[in-house]
Structure 1
Amino acid sequence: MRLWFSRFVAAIFMGGQVIVHILRGKFNYPNIIEQMALVGPESLPIALVTATTIGMVFTIQVAREFINFGAGQAVGGVLSIALTRELAPVLTAVVLAGRVGSAFAAEIGTMKVSEQIDALYILKTDPVDYLVIPRLVACCVMLPLLTIVSIVAGMLGGLVVATSIFGLPVRIFLDSARNFLTPWDIWSAPIKAVVFGALIAIIGCNWGMTTTGGAKGVGLSTTTAVVTSLLAIFISNFFLSWVMFQGTGSGVTKSI
């Protein structure tokens, strides 16, 4: 527990370092492009599968109850709100934490125990500029894009289920989504994704930079980095949702 707390404090300081370096305009563009390819296109298939199945399952659970209460016309709207406000940004971030955050911790942790990080210092290369910032920028840029794609995939999955299983007309489903959604609902998803992406990158990189104990330490850092990233995502999502949506809901009431 003491080790985890010391790493958590180190992650806060690393976040401060990253902000300072970004304000100074220190970017390693080749590394940024490489990391964006890792975070974005290579994570797209699993993000699409996750979002599509979540949209389908959510529609199965919601449509039956709504139809029983005579509110079948609200299924598309409820799904769209759930995806934009919570499901798409959170679940896409969870997928990225498991796939990319673990990779960051393992790769940088291996560099740490094999003294490659020390070699960077000898070459007068700051590891924050060379390793951390490219991964942070990649996550903060690509995760919002993946989230938007996930929203579309989730809506398509829900549409297929609603029309083929429950017999809801396509037009009613889409009109419901359009009536329920507000511009702020749509903007909230990428805003959350940027925050989640920063958390995943900083935690993964920091846990890698603080790795000790050889191969066993790399495995431990990878596991704890993923767990910490998930906790950070869920906790920050609560505060973001509380700030963004407290007192909202008029769009749903008006549509119904």
Structure 2
Amino acid sequence: MRTFGRSVQIGVESIIGAATDVTRRKFQWREMILQCWALLTVTTIPAILMAIPFGVIVSVQVGNLIHQLGADSMLGAGGGLGVIKQGAPMATGFLLGGAGASAIAADLGARTIREEIEALKTMGIDPIHRLVIPRMVAMVIVAPLLNILIIFVGILTGYVMAIASLGVTPGSYWATFGSFATVADVWVSLAKSIIFGFLVVVIACQRGLEAKGGPRGVADGVNAAVVISVVSIVLVNLAMTQVVSMFLPTRIA
């Protein structure tokens, strides 16, 4: 519970500090851009590689079920709904929790055991404003971009599979694509990815800043950051899915 409380404290301080830094023109724009680039370089190719088999799996599984029901023309609707509402935000969260969280936790953990964090405090520089906030903003920016990339690749892969192996005509696929997936579902998917990114960066920063015990402590912090991030994403996704289902039930567009 104390660890959870410290994570919440870092998250609240980061949100308030980001608004304050932007207002006072003290925001670390250069550090934020560098972190955005670093996150994109370690997550873009894995996102594409993850989205391709995911699109194939959704297309094949949903296609077989719809074929048994005799509604082959609805494959586009089922595939689009699965990728947009659940697949893309979860894949984004797992990528950020794996590649992003490990990179951030390792970086901050190494700085901590080398006493760079204590040196910053000695010089009157707040590590939250100097290190955590730029990473938080970078993660929040990169998360929806990865989400959009996974949606695009996943849907395109599902379309190719539906046309090539399931015998669905292109016109019927795209005609039924928007039957259930609406613009609101896309916004919910983007909101999920942003929330997952925020959770990941807060957990990674907390574990990195509290690393101790030399290189072994950094490794333990990285491992804990990845595991806790994935578990948190699964639990938060479950809660958000229930809430969204209550207020935005699936309906024909």
Both proteins in one fold, TM over 0.5: yes
Question: Structure 1, residues 184-234: CA drift from partner, whole Å, max 9, x if none?
Answer: 111111111110110011100110001111111111010011000011111
| Number of the residue aligned with 2:250 | 249
1:59–1:79: 8 Å Cα contact kept in structure 2? yes
Question: Structure 1, residues 39-80: CA drift from partner, whole Å, max 9, x if none?
Answer: 224411110111121011111111112112101111111111
Q: Which one of 7, 14, 20 corresponds to residue 10 of structure 2?
A: 14
Q: Does 1:113 align with 2:109?
A: no
Q: Give distance in 2, aligned partners of 1:97 and 1:118.
A: 27
Higher deviation after alignment, 68-77 or 218-227: 68-77
Matches within 5 A, 1:26-175: 26-175=26-175
1:35–1:135: 8 Å Cα contact kept in structure 2? yes
Match of 1:8, as an amino acid? F
Q: Give distance in 2, aligned partners of 1:43 and 1:91.
A: 11
Number of aligned residues: 248
Q: CA RMSD in A?
A: 1.3
1:40–1:143: 8 Å Cα contact kept in structure 2? no
| Number of the residue aligned with 1:195 | 195
The two structures have a TM-score, normalised by structure 2, of 0.94
Q: Which SS does the other structure have where 1:23 is aligned?
A: helix
What are the ranges of 5 or more consecutive residues in structure 2 without an aligned counterpart? none
Higher deviation after alignment, 121-130 or 195-204: 121-130
Structure 1 residues 41 and 220, CA gap change in structure 2 (3 angstroms): closer
Q: Which SS does the other structure have where 2:178 is aligned?
A: helix
Match of 1:11, as an amino acid? S
What are the ranges of 5 or more consecutive residues in structure 1 without an aligned counterpart? none
Structure 1 residues 41 and 174, CA gap change in structure 2 (3 angstroms): farther
The two structures have a TM-score, normalised by structure 1, of 0.93
| Number of the residue aligned with 2:216 | 216
1:181 offset after TM fit, Å? 1.6
What percent of counterpart residues are identical? 29
1:243 offset after TM fit, Å? 1.8
Q: Which SS does the other structure have where 1:179 is aligned?
A: coil
Question: Structure 1, residues 129-187: CA drift from partner, whole Å, max 9, x if none?
Answer: 11111111011111101101110100011011111111111111111112222111111
Higher deviation after alignment, 102-111 or 35-44: 35-44
